Structure 1
Amino acid sequence: MSEASKITLKKRPYQYQAANGKYYTTFIVQGWKENGKWQRKQFKSEKDADVFIADKTLELNNDQAAKRSRQTTLTEEQLDEAEKAFKALGSTYNLSEVVSFFLDNHRPPEFALPLTEAIEIYLEDQAETLRPRTLIQKRSSLKLFYEHVGDVPVHECTQQKVLSFLKALRAKDGISKASRKTWNNYRNDLNHFFAWSGEKDMSTNRPWLFVNPVEGVRIFTAKQVAEQRKPIATTDPKQVAALFTHLMEDCPELVKYYALAYFAGIRPSGEMKALDQYAEEDGLIDLKTRTINITAKISKTKEERKVHISENLAQWLTAFAEYPIIPKNFDRMNKAVRAKFKLQHDETRHSFISYHVAVHRSAGDAALQAGNSESIVKKHYLRHSPAEDGNEFFSLIPCSKTNSAIQSNLRLDNFRYRAI
């Protein structure tokens, strides 16, 4: 039954005392709605009240008949619900838009899965194509998200939950907001996970959701990220000499690692560990041809490159050939060295590229050696360091007599880098 047909108009007398002290009786009619609000009207005579009741009842009945004159398969109750929905929506949205949005964001899929289980299935699937380091990073990102929102079903992860998580990210000091680059990195990890979760796959009973909650979440442009980027850090050649002297005296196990990091520009994170794993087996470091072969399975960019071994690097590798690239207790020793010399992120690699460009004035050759694009090298490293510093840097060699790093008298022309 509709709302209008439920209305019963009521008449009741009301007596009040006027200012002159006399008592008067009026009649109040109530019991109908206009624009969603209950109405009532006061009459001086009972006859006028009765006439109004008759007219208003006829009006309401005619209005009700007009509303029900259209053919429909809906029941009275369903029509009432529809009317209420239209009144609540007003002119802001139409009913179809609201229903579509609700179904996309709140309809549970046929197979609902808790977030923790979904993450494990996703990582297992990605392990076939991703590098171990990338997989570790994705696991870390998704774990933080799970800890923030709880073990909710995947389809209940909304855009609001994603935004709440990203806005809660903090810098290393635990207080400042995370950088725009960090925001983008976490956003990308979440986006890939939810996009994968929405794909159809019978073996994993996907999709687990119908709308990717990360879509529409802002992503900072390269220019916006660059605005927060710190200037690249390079190590002064004299400081490099002091660092290698310290290594020779206190922890010679790390000499080969730092020699490859500084004088070959090998990425100190993923590439160095992979090179240590495959170097001896595959003969990747060849002192006879003066070549380090960074294969596709080692390279961060998954593109093979060959790095020329300079004369000073050859001497470091020869003098400390007995040691592996990554020794036991590496993390503990490396952390102590980095703290002692206050090394920043990728400072060894930045030093290699910067001094290489300073000596040879070739952004293209430096890009080939380091596995970067030429545009990146020109943008960040061209004219970053003077040629004198580059000459001093690539002249540092080990001295067994003094057990220290010294500057050789060899001319750099004798071991100029070659693009291979």
Structure 2
Amino acid sequence: MASLFNRSGSYYAQFDDADRTPKRRRLSLRTRDKRLARQLLHRADEAYRLGTFDPWVSSLDDLEPERPAAPLSVSEAVADYLGDRADALRPTTIIDRESVLRRFTEAVGGAVPVARLKADDLKPFCLAPEIAEGTRRKRVAYVRIWLKWCKAQGHVTDNVGALLRTPRKVDPTRSVHRKAVRLVELNAICQEAERAGHTWKAQMYRFTFYSGLRVSEVARLDWRDVDLDARTITISEQKNRRTTILPISQKAAGVLAEIAEEADRGHVFVSPLQRKPERNVRAFCASANKDFTAFRDLAGIDRPVSYHGLRHGFASHLADNGASAWVVQAACRHSSIAVSQVYVSLASKTLSNELDSAFG
């Protein structure tokens, strides 16, 4: 039986079947009128139960040949795309793409028919010279993916996004070098945090640098996940959604041992003012990033390093001290050895420069 699904004011017909792949299929009803949506849903559901319509194969247009399809607007096409991909992508990915495509809609005009878009209409938003190079690459990629979906749905005949010239990629070693927090910078930032009376934040920064955890993993870390005797922690919600037992460095364990003297249950990193045991991980991460940036500025560090730069610093520190790409990959849990190789290559370049400097 089909059900009605609403996303951002647009209605969809939702079909569920555990024996099909994917198990759930959503088709846009192309209306924001609930009454009309229910009528269209009833027609689709009846055809589905009679076996004359398969939502996994056909589109709703096949049920309504007599109704001329109105030109789909950019805002409608974006809403349809996000609704269709909601179950196939991670929530954070959907949020990221929704943010970019919402700005894109505002830039080109939400009422503009998507079929009338040209490459020149995309360039002011995707290739704006005042935005960062990484942001340009992201905008190009997301708009291309959206238009590719539009073409597959029959909303456009050509993916004009393919005509956009992707900005030149930054050398990953240079990018990592800019992002990685150095040990001397870590100490300066922690000193500012301690001077402001936020010792627990300084401990959190040091632990992140010496463990290489992501900020979301630090936010979720509970004392039940810590084994100081074995010097391991259990990460249950990684980026790849798997659980792993991770060995930590002696210095990272030392930070935890210092904290454990005063607390041995609940979340590991807790503000003295926190009263509720529950934690909003997203809000905690946002606050951690904001505070880190503030202490960075107070420390007089002019490089735009962020909290995530502590993880880059961990990997760079490993490579600088002779760790292989395989060790860096295992310690950081990178999905690809190529990512870990970037840090090793950076360490090799640093060594090469030092040799050139020494021998003239």
With the shorter chain as reference, the TM-score category is: 0.5 to 0.7
Does the 8 Å contact 1:265/1:349 carry over to 2? yes
1:303-337, CA deviations, whole angstroms, 9 ceiling, x for partnerless residues?
Answer: 66653211211121232354654766545423312
Query: Is 1:344 matched up with 2:305?
Result: yes
Shift of 1:196: 1.9
Does the 8 Å contact 2:186/2:206 carry over to 1? no
Query: Is 1:362 matched up with 2:329?
Result: no
Query: Is 1:291 matched up with 2:232?
Result: yes
The 1:190–1:228 alpha-carbon spacing in structure 2 relative to 1, beyond 3 Å, is farther
Q: Normalization by structure 1: what TM-score?
A: 0.52
Give the partner amino acid of 2:192: H
The 1:125–1:252 alpha-carbon spacing in structure 2 relative to 1, beyond 3 Å, is farther
Aligned match of 1:246: 192
The 1:229–1:351 alpha-carbon spacing in structure 2 relative to 1, beyond 3 Å, is closer
Does the 8 Å contact 1:255/1:320 carry over to 2? no
Instruction: Supply the RMSD in Å over aligned alpha carbons.
Output: 3.3
Aligned match of 1:191: 144
List aligned pairs for 1:249-288, cutoff 5 A.
Answer: 249=195, 250-267=197-214, 272-274=215-217, 276-277=219-220, 279-280=221-222, 283-288=224-229
Shift of 1:261: 2.3
CA distance in 2, matches of 1:216, 1:228: 29
Shift of 1:365: 0.8
1:6-25, CA deviations, whole angstroms, 9 ceiling, x for partnerless residues?
Answer: xxxxxxxxxxxxxxxxxxxx
Aligned match of 1:49: none
Does the 8 Å contact 2:148/2:159 carry over to 1? yes
Q: Which ranges in structure 2 are unaligned for 5 or more consecutive residues? A: 1-67, 272-283, 352-360
**Identity over aligned pairs, percent:** 22
The 1:158–1:280 alpha-carbon spacing in structure 2 relative to 1, beyond 3 Å, is same
Give the partner amino acid of 2:321: V
Give the partner amino acid of 1:232: H
CA distance in 1, matches of 2:172, 2:328: 25
Aligned match of 2:30: none
Aligned length: 255
Aligned match of 2:114: 154
Secondary structure of residue in 2 paired with 1:183: helix
State which structure, 1 or 2, has the greater radius of gyration over its C-alpha atoms.
Answer: 1
The 1:380–1:361 alpha-carbon spacing in structure 2 relative to 1, beyond 3 Å, is closer
Query: Is 1:143 matched up with 2:90?
Result: no
Shift of 1:160: 2.0
Does the 8 Å contact 1:262/1:352 carry over to 2? yes
Aligned match of 1:226: 171
Q: Which ranges in structure 1 are unaligned for 5 or more consecutive residues? A: 1-108, 172-177, 201-206, 387-420
Shift of 1:353: 1.1
Aligned match of 2:17: none
CA distance in 2, matches of 1:197, 1:139: 15
Does the 8 Å contact 2:234/2:244 carry over to 1? yes
